[in-house]
Structure 1
């Protein structure tokens, strides 16, 4: 089988990694195409994957020009490569060219607030896959599964936390510590949304550091006062570091979801995350995440969690309840691949 995978974001590199490994192992031909954004290419190189970059991330009005460029380059690549199927999270740069060329395509999403990209891509997708608790309905081509994008690469078959790798990165996994995550807020669905005010961010880290060691990871350069707290771990070890943390706090719903799946409670400051099904189920049904629209409320909740954490047994029980019925995402994708190709 010939498969094209479009990777636009570092998280998507993690999401597709187990599938690409599986496909390559059985002799399928996989063409990875990318967008030069943050650490996407670094991760793909660390995974040992070759790729073709179609564009560099643009901002503001440049996003329209970038999308048009990607559509043109994607169409030319699809004509040459002639995949049996094209896959992408969002489908924003694959769905339209693939539909025009008669190539089956599958789009994934877990972000209800990505309204614009969903409206552009999904009318042209042969199948749209979302978590079961996704808020919204895209019609008969919309299929749901019990899982999270993050479960694709944090399932025990794909990931086992390794304390020795954490120690090798200069972090003691036996010492109480927190991971703090700041994000860039430049995605299309981030427009008009907020996380932590800069003053709240400094207060969060400094006050939390009075209670336990803090390791900061940030998509943007932190202010000088927070530079000493930057994590020494390389990016490919962050999930190992996160797995041994006492808590995660900051602005990243995706990392909050990763934390929940690893059995680490989290606090997320975001004006949009609470509207998403993933965050609602993690907060309301399993008590593994707290989401706040106001950054100051997130700071107070984080400090309260640090001072009065749930017992390890309670957190383990919540995680066990969460993961017990989740589907293995690579198998979910393979099933839908077969069905889409059979329909054609």
Structure 2
């Protein structure tokens, strides 16, 4: 089979890397990526060959123009190589599948109401959407395949990821030393229009609280403000999950890293205007108690929650128990995707949530 994997975000490298390595010896695979430095750095680290499409744009009109360019480049690649399946989370794959013989499988874990542009201009053209079961009732597209899991469980399950303790030595952190990871976003994606995260003044208040309890490391989507440079995290991007796993807590306004920390069993506290509006983080919070989310207008409550967690006895052991409960309910998403692609098109017509079919992708052991 001839397969295209399109990378539109650094997190997609992690999301699809196991799929790539499992299938590359059996099928012919192409990988495309926008000119996203961290995504390209990750692809190089994992020795995944790629073709670069072009630079991401911030302004909405520039995004629209760039989208046409991405579509053209992918269409040309698909036609030249007779690609049969495209998998990713991009508009380009959906659009090209509508005008070519390629079938598109789009992974989408956001609710319809928070991404109206993608729902309007992407969903109708996709052959299939693949979404967490959290979104049942919040996804309008009929041919959506629901699975019991999260994107982050494609790469952060215990059988797929073991934290590398060497990252602590690289940052001169003693194994018994307490530290915190913070992540701040720019909110420039199409689905971020009208949304906001944590202000500089609020960031400084977080630091003032945390520095009494341990070291602070900040990673940011854009350039850090001068006032925060002393805390800037300087490690290669493939090491961030190991650092997260050893941390006491994750704090920030990032959607992805909040969920990543949560599925690793690390207490996670998020403050942005998406809080309470997204089904996946709501499930991680309401069903499993692995993370907490607050609107920017509730920043004082956000700080109070951090204080409560800092003073909570037995916090680490409690979060291990909560994580184990979550893992027992979920599937290995990478295994599921590998099976889906390998058995396409029969797989997409026989899959639904709560079937014996999906049970085979549960972990046999969790720890």
TM-score, normalising length: structure 1: 0.94
Contact 1:7–1:13 (8 Å) recurs in 2: yes
Indicate the residue corresponding to 1:87 in structure 2.
87
Shift of 1:187: 0.7
Indicate the residue corresponding to 1:55 in structure 2.
54
Indicate the residue corresponding to 1:118 in structure 2.
119
Contact 1:78–1:98 (8 Å) recurs in 2: no
Tell me the SS of whatever aligns to 1:221.
coil
Structure 1 range deviating more: 330-339 or 267-276: 330-339
- Looking at structure 2, the residues matched to 217 and 189 of structure 1 have their Cα atoms a distance apart, in angstroms, of 21
Shift of 1:84: 2.0
Deviation track 1:222-277 (CA, whole Å, cap 9, x = no partner) reads 22221111123322111000001110000112111111111101100111142111
- Of 297, 303, 307 in structure 2, the residue corresponding to residue 303 of structure 1 is 307
Q: How does 1:92-241 map to 2 (within 5 A)?
A: 92-112=91-111, 113-134=114-135, 136-241=138-243
Shift of 1:286: 1.1
Tell me the SS of whatever aligns to 2:244.
helix
The list of structure 1 runs, each at least 4 consecutive aligned residues, that deviate by more than 4 angstroms after superposition, is none
Shift of 1:111: 1.4
Structure 1 range deviating more: 54-63 or 109-118: 109-118
Deviation track 1:82-123 (CA, whole Å, cap 9, x = no partner) reads 11211111x311112122112111001111222211221111
Contact 1:128–1:142 (8 Å) recurs in 2: yes
Shift of 1:156: 2.0
- Looking at structure 2, the residues matched to 257 and 33 of structure 1 have their Cα atoms a distance apart, in angstroms, of 25
Indicate the residue corresponding to 2:276 in structure 1.
274
Deviation track 1:20-71 (CA, whole Å, cap 9, x = no partner) reads 11111x3321100111124111111111111111120012110010011111
Cα-Cα RMSD: 1.8
Matched, 1:7 2:11: no
Matched, 1:29 2:33: no
Shift of 1:315: 1.2
Matched, 1:46 2:45: yes
- Looking at structure 2, the residues matched to 310 and 221 of structure 1 have their Cα atoms a distance apart, in angstroms, of 36
Indicate the residue corresponding to 2:334 in structure 1.
330
Indicate the residue corresponding to 1:18 in structure 2.
18
Structure 1 range deviating more: 155-164 or 296-305: 296-305
Shift of 1:338: 4.5
Contact 1:169–1:234 (8 Å) recurs in 2: no
Structure 2: 5+ residue runs without aligned partners?
A: 350-367
Deviation track 1:254-312 (CA, whole Å, cap 9, x = no partner) reads 11111111110110011114211111111111111110002443233223322336532
Tell me the SS of whatever aligns to 1:150.
helix
- Looking at structure 2, the residues matched to 243 and 185 of structure 1 have their Cα atoms a distance apart, in angstroms, of 25
Contact 1:105–1:127 (8 Å) recurs in 2: yes
- Looking at structure 1, the residues matched to 57 and 166 of structure 2 have their Cα atoms a distance apart, in angstroms, of 39
- Looking at structure 2, the residues matched to 133 and 236 of structure 1 have their Cα atoms a distance apart, in angstroms, of 28
- Of 217, 238, 248 in structure 1, the residue corresponding to residue 250 of structure 2 is 248
Contact 2:23–2:338 (8 Å) recurs in 1: no
